Chains A and B, each alone.
Chain A
Amino acid sequence: MTVPMREPTFLILTALARAPMHGYGLITEVAELSGGRLELRPGTLYGALDRLADDGLVALDREEVVDGRARKYYRLTDRGDAALRAETERLRRNVEAASARLAARTSLRPVTGVARTGLTALGGAA
C-alpha cells in the first residue's frame, strides 16, 4: 500500500512532466498550475527535490550558466513518470466517483429547487 501524494509533490512532478526545469522555473510553474494558491519557497522546493531524488522520482538533468549563474535543471525519471501516472489515475477515479454522486444528487434536486424559489419569491414579495 502506498501513501497518496501531497499536493506540492504532485504539482512538482506535474511541472516536470513537460520538460526539465530549474528551481525558479519550477516555483513559477507550480504557482501557475495551482492557480496562484501554492507558492513554494526555495528552502521547501529544494527539500522536496532532494526527497524526490532519494525516492528516485526526479534526477539532475543538466547544468547551464545563465547571466553568470549556474542553473541546474531537473527531470522526471521513469519511476517518477510511473508514480505521477498512478497518482493521476487515483485522483481521476476519485473525481469520477464524486462526479457520479453529484450528478445523482442534481437529478433529485428540482423539487427542492422549486420550493426554494417559491419561498424566495414569497419573501421577496413580502
Chain B
Amino acid sequence: MTGTLGDRYRALLRWYPAAYRAERGEEIIDTYLDLARPGQRWPRPADVADLARGGMRQHLRARNALGLADALPFAASLALAAAAALAGLWLVRAELVNLPDGAGWHSVGRFVGLGAVAWIVWLLTPVAAFTGHGRPAVALALLVTAAMIPAAALSSYARPPMFVLVPQLALGLVALAVPARRWSPAAAAGFVVAAAIAGLAALILPADHYFYYDYYALLSAMPYAALVLTLAIGMAGVYFTGRRDPRAWWPALVLLGPTLLLGLTLPGGSHQQYPDWSLAVGWAAAAALIAVAAVPAALWLRARRTPGAHERCPTCGR
C-alpha cells in the first residue's frame, strides 16, 4: 500500500529537474510517506500543488531566477489594483451615461451595457483579496469578462470594445497569482493610491456624451494607465534592487504583456482614438509574443550569466 503511494508521489516528482530529482527525490518521497495518514493511497490535492510549485521553483533556481517566482504575488497585486481602478473608471464614466433614443441595444438596468456586470465584479475583487479569497474572485471576474463577448454577440445587449476587454483580461491573468493570504497594510495603501488615480481620471477626463457608448471617448486614458503602471513597476524595481530583494526587476517582466496591451490604442490615427482593426490585432499579437518570449529569454540570459551555479543540490551532501 505504502509502495503504491510512494510510486504515486514519485510520478509527481517528474515536475522537478532530473538532476535534482536524482539527488533529492527519495528524501522528499520519504518525508511525504512519514506524513501520510494511515491507509492513505493517493497524494492529497495540496501535495500535488506543493510538488508542482516546488518543481517550478527548482527549475527557476537552476537558472538563478528564483526572484521570478517571488515576484509573482507582487506583480499580481499590482495587476489587480490596475484592473480594479480601470473597472471603476469604465463603470462610472462609460456605463453610467444615459442611453439615447434610437440606440440599437437594450440597457442593463441603469447601465448602458453588459460591461457594468463585469466591472462590478472587478471592483469586488480587492475586497475579496483582503479577506483571503482573491484568486477565486479574480477567476470569476475573468470568466464574466470573457463571457461578455459571446453574450453580446448572441443578444441585443452591448459590450465594451475589445480595446478595453483585452488589456483587462491580460491584467486578470496576472492577477490570478494574487496572494492567498490576507493583505498587508502596504498592499492596502497601493489600492488606495490606485483608487485615487482612477477617481482623479474619472473627474478630469473629457466628457463626450455624443457618443452612444462612451468607451471610445475614453480610450485616450489607457496609455496613461500603462504609464502609471510602468512608473509603479519602475519604483518597485529601484526599491527592491536597493534592498537586495530577489524580486528586483522581475515584476517588470511579468507585467510586460498587460502594459503593452494597455498601449493598444497608441497607434490610433489623428481622426480617431483607436487604431484600425488590422493594426490593433497586429499590436496585440506582437505584445503577446514579446511578453511570452521575454520569459524564456530572461531565464536563458540569467542561466548564462551564472553557469553551473546551481547544478548540484547544496544540501544533498555532494
Physical interaction between A and B: yes
- Give A contacts to B, CB under 8 Å: 1-3, 23-24, 27, 41-47, 49-51, 53-54, 58-60, 63, 69-72, 74
In the complex, what distance in Å separates the CA atom of A42 from the CA atom of B30?
A: 9
Contact residues of B between 14 and 71, Cβ < 8 Å to A: 24, 26-28, 30-32, 34-35, 46-47, 50-51, 53-55, 57-58, 61, 66
Known contacts being A1-B242, A43-B50, is A50 close to B27, with CB within 8 Å?
A: no
Q: Does B317 contact A (CB under 8 A)?
A: yes
Q: Is the CB of B245 within 8 A of A46?
A: no
In the complex, what distance in Å separates the CA atom of A71 from the CA atom of B50?
A: 21
In the complex, what distance in Å separates the CA atom of A48 from the CA atom of B36?
A: 21
In the complex, what distance in Å separates the CA atom of A53 from the CA atom of B35?
A: 24
Known contacts being A24-B34, A53-B315, A60-B316, is A43 close to B245, with CB within 8 Å?
A: no
Q: Is the CB of A43 within 8 A of B243?
A: no
Q: Is the CB of A70 within 8 A of B27?
A: yes
- Give B contacts to A, CB under 8 Å: 24, 26-28, 30-32, 34-35, 46-47, 50-51, 53-55, 57-58, 61, 66, 242-245, 310, 313-317
Q: Is the CB of B54 within 8 A of A24?
A: no
Closest chain B residue to A49, Cβ basis:
B315
User: 5 more A-B contacts (CB under 8 A) besides A23-B30, A42-B35, A54-B310?
Assistant: A42-B28, A43-B28, A44-B54, A46-B28, A70-B26
Residues of chain A within 8 A of B26, CB atoms compared:
70
